[in-house]
Structures are given as structure tokens and as C-alpha cells.
Amino acid sequence: MQPIGFKSHDHGTCIAHSVTSVQKQCAERGLQLTPVRQRVLEILLAKHQAMGAYDILAVLKADGFSAQPPVAYRALDFLVGNGFAHKIERLNAFVACSHPSSEHVPAFLICRVCENVAEGIANLSEDTVAASARDAGFIIERAVVEAEGVCPNCDGAQP
Amino acid sequence: MQPIGFKSHDHGTCIAHSVTSVQKQCAERGLQLTPVRQRVLEILLAKHQAMGAYDILAVLKADGFSAQPPVAYRALDFLVGNGFAHKIERLNAFVACSHPSSEHVPAFLICRVCENVAEGIANLSEDTVAASARDAGFIIERAVVEAEGVCPNCDGAQP
DNA sequence: TTGATATATGTTATAGTATATCATAACAAG
DNA sequence: CTTGTTATGATATACTATAACATATATCAA
């Protein structure tokens, strides 16, 4: 699977598709995609960049929602907990999931210049990681790969 | 390479070997392993568990070192920057490196029950991650794998 | 040795991230 | 209707990290 985020694409439909997909899944799984939750998802989808909780909060405030930290964190917990968004631990920030329809180990390619984030899919089960875990008797419940570097748009432009 | 941390081992020599190894490398590379830095390394080595900066600070304080946050963070920056320790982003915490003598992509197996951490080595270059990055034109400078789950000592004991 | 430069530490203050807690509202099930 | 559940509102606080500036210590060239 290809990461998206560094290649030009029709971002309008990209957003629309994602929202529709999440709405559909929520309906199927009996989850409530409430106004705040959907709005936070849209905010995240607006760009392929990680956003901090307080950045999101500022947008929510401008939209007339209550702007206390828990508002943002609760919505983010919902989205992350149900696989509609991910937290980039390295940045203490969040991104909408690019592959919301399937279970996967996300692999983030984080550009340290423009801060855009592309999400690929790692295949740890065929990596030495899975072998190590197996040998150690460790049961992996969830995992994430975070890679920092330079994206093609920034390579050459900025060192 | 095997992760360590979940199997019983002679932890005394484990610590001693690590300290000696780091001392040797610092000498070779012209790095100053000052008292605070070495002490923080020892504190991290004391257990195969991630420690927060403020936990470390508390120990430093008990040892008579200055106990302002920058003291701990500077020592940690030194250790992490030179590959003698790693930051576990998911936990906002730090661990001594188990393989301080080689460049590697660390893969952490984090037990959510006992909070012990084992460090293995990922081989992303043969993972789909490397292929995705290559296809996207993304240059990976550093990466980390963080896997959360249950270690063999806790499996069965606690759900 | 001395002085210049770089590196490391001491200290205060503050910025940034996240959660605990309690109160209220909306709604469905019994 | 009242009980249980889920979501939201609101306040306060805890936890994590860094900026900024002063002082000290090491390193090295002249």
C-alpha cells in the first residue's frame, strides 16, 4: 500500500471519501459520530499534517464549540480508539487515518521540514520484530512505526 | 538479535558491561561522560523499565545533584543523542540502550502490565515500510518501532 | 601560562501536553 | 418514571519539556 500525503491528489474528494467512510463504519458498528467528533475528524482531514490537541481546540473554538482541553482529547480518544485517527507520539500530535477501513500497523513518514505526514502500512509480522517478540514470548497488541526524514517535496529545497 | 528484559539474567554484570562499554565509546569519540550523565545512565540501567525525566530527577536529587528539570533533560539529550539511551515516545519515558555499540532501528516491546521494556532491532529495510518510503521518494533519517502488549511474565497472571 | 573558545552546569521561569474530577444533559431500557 | 449509559460542560491541576541567562569548567592555540 502506498503512503499518501506527499503526492498531489484531489484533496476535496479525499476528505469527502474519508468522512463518508467513517460515517458508514460508525453506523455499522453502533458508534456515535457526534458533531464534535465529526468536526475534529474534518479538521484533521483538512491537511495531511499532524495537529496538536490545542491547535484543534483553537479551530473548535472558532466554530463555536466549547474549547476546554477535554473536549478535544475526548473526541481524539474516540477517533484514535476506533481507528479513525492516529497519534504521532513523536510529535504529540494527531492525524486522520488514511486507511480507516482496515486493521493495520501504521507506519508514519514524518517530514521534519514541512511536517507533513504520510501513512503507510508496516508488515511487522515478516520483520525481525515479530520474530523477536515470538522468541521472547511477548504478545504484541498494537504497534506503530514512526520514521522521521525528508519528503520528496522538501528534499533539495531545505537541508 | 534477541530482546532482553523479559528473561532472567545477571543484571549486575549487565549494568557493569553497559557502563564500561559506554565509557569506552565516549573515550573513543571524545565525548564527556560527566558525573551527572553517567549517573543518569546508571539510573536507567538499574531496571529494564522506562523512566520519566521527573522520576530520574528524583533519584538525582536523592544523590545530591541539582534537581532542576534541565539537569535531567540535558543528560538525557546527551545519552539519547549519542545512542546510549532511547526515548519511548509512547510513554514519554527513557530507557538505556541495550545495543549501544551499533547503529540500529530500535524496536521496543512494552509490557502494559509490568511496564518493562525490551529492546529488539527492527529491519525496516526489508519491510514494506522501506518500499513505501522509496516509492514516495521519502528519505528516512531515523525510525523507531513501538509495540505494546503483554510480556511472558505477565501473560496469564494479569489480563 | 594565558587567553580565547567551546562545552557543561546552575537556576529561574514559563510553555506545552494531558488528565482527574464533578456536574449536567440526552436518551434508551426496564 | 427512574435507572443506567453515554456524551458534554467546566474547573482545576498534573505532568512533560524548554527558553533564557548566569556561572563554571574544560580544551587548545599562541
User: Is residue A154 in some structural domain?
Assistant: no
Q: Residues whose CB falls within 7 A of nucleic chain D?
A: A 31-32, 34-37, 65-66, 68-71, 74-75, 78; B 32, 52-54, 68-70, 73, 87, 92-93
Q: Mind listing the pLDDT tens digit for each residue in B98-107? A: 988 888 999 9
> How far apart (Å, rounded) are the C-alpha atoms in residues A106 and A97?
9
* pLDDT at B2 (0 to 100): 62
Q: 3-class SS at A143?
A: strand
Q: Which residue did the predictor score with more confidence, A99 or A78?
A: A78
Look at B149 and A129 and tell me if their CB atoms are within 8 Å: no
- Among A6, A121, A138, the residue with its CB nearest the CB of B152 is A138
User: Is the distance from CB of B90 to CB of B148 less than 8 angstroms?
Assistant: yes
Residue A37 burial by CB count (10 A; 0-12/13-18/19+): exposed, middle or buried?
Answer: buried
Q: What percent of chain B has pLDDT over 70?
A: 96
Output the nine-digit C-alpha cell for B47.
531496571
- The closest nt to B68, taking CA to C1', is C11
Q: Does any domain span residue A27?
A: yes
Residue A19: how many CA atoms within 13 Å on its side-chain side? 18
Whether residue B6 is contained in a domain is answered as no
Residue A94 lies in a domain: yes
Q: What is the pLDDT of residue B17?
A: 93
Q: What is the pLDDT of residue A48?
A: 85
Per-residue pLDDT tens over the stretch A26-43: 999 999 999 999 999 999
The band of B1, judged by pLDDT with boundaries at 50, 70 and 90, is low
Q: Say if residue B88's pLDDT is above 50.
A: yes
State which residues form the domain around A142: 11-149
How far apart CA A50 and CA A44 sit, in angstroms, is 8
| Position A159 pLDDT exceeds 50 | no
Q: Is residue B93 a part of any domain in this protein?
A: yes
Q: Which residue has the cell 472558532?
A: A62
8 Å CB contact of A136 and B111: no
- Nearest CA to CA, how far is B106 from chain A (Å)? 9
What's phi and psi for B107, nearest 5 deg?
A: -125, 115
Number of compact structural domains in chain B: 1
* DSSP-derived secondary structure for B60-78: HHHTTS---HHHHHHHHHH
pLDDT digits (tens, 9 = 90+) for B53-64: 999 999 999 999
CB contact under 8 A, A143 and B143: no
Beta strand ranges found along A21-138 (DSSP E): 85-88, 93-96, 105-111, 117-122
Residue of chain B whose alpha carbon sits nearest to that of A129: B122
Mean pLDDT of A81-106: 94
Q: Is the residue at B158 inside a domain?
A: no
pLDDT digits (tens, 9 = 90+) for B89-139: 999 999 999 988 888 999 999 999 888 999 999 999 999 999 999 999 999
As given in the structure block, the three cell numbers for residue A101 are 477501513
In the predicted structure, residue B159 carries a pLDDT above the cut 50 = no
Question: Is the model's pLDDT at B156 over the cut of 90?
Answer: no
Q: Is B14 annotated as a binding residue?
A: no
- A111 found inside a domain: yes
- What's the pLDDT tens digit per position in A99-109? 888 889 999 99
Q: What mean pLDDT comes out for the span A86-103?
A: 93
**Averaged confidence pLDDT in chain B:** 92
In a domain, A84, yes or no: yes
* Pairwise CA distance, residues A51 & A87, whole Å: 9
- Contacts with B123 from chain A: Cβ below 8 Å: 127-129
Tell me which long-range contacts A25-30 makes (C-beta under 8 A, separation of at least 24). Answer: A25/A82, A25/A84, A25/A100, A25/A101, A26/A82, A29/A82
- Length B75 CA → D24 C1' (Å): 17
**Interval B26-32 mean pLDDT:** 94
Confidence of residue A157 (pLDDT cuts 50, 70, 90): low
Residues A54-74, mean pLDDT to the nearest whole number:
95
Chain-chain contact of A121 with B128 (C-beta, under 8 angstroms): yes
> Residue type at A85?
A
Q: Which of A132, A135, A148, A151 is the mutation pick for testing B, counting most B CBs within 10 A?
A: A132
Mutate to test the interface with A, among B92, B94, B145, B154 (most CBs of A within 10 A): B145
CATH code of the domain containing A97: 1.10.10.10
Nearest Cα to Cα of residue B53 among B21, B87, B100, B25: B87
**Nearest alpha-carbon partner for B37 in B77, B68, B69:** B77
A111 is in an annotated binding site: yes
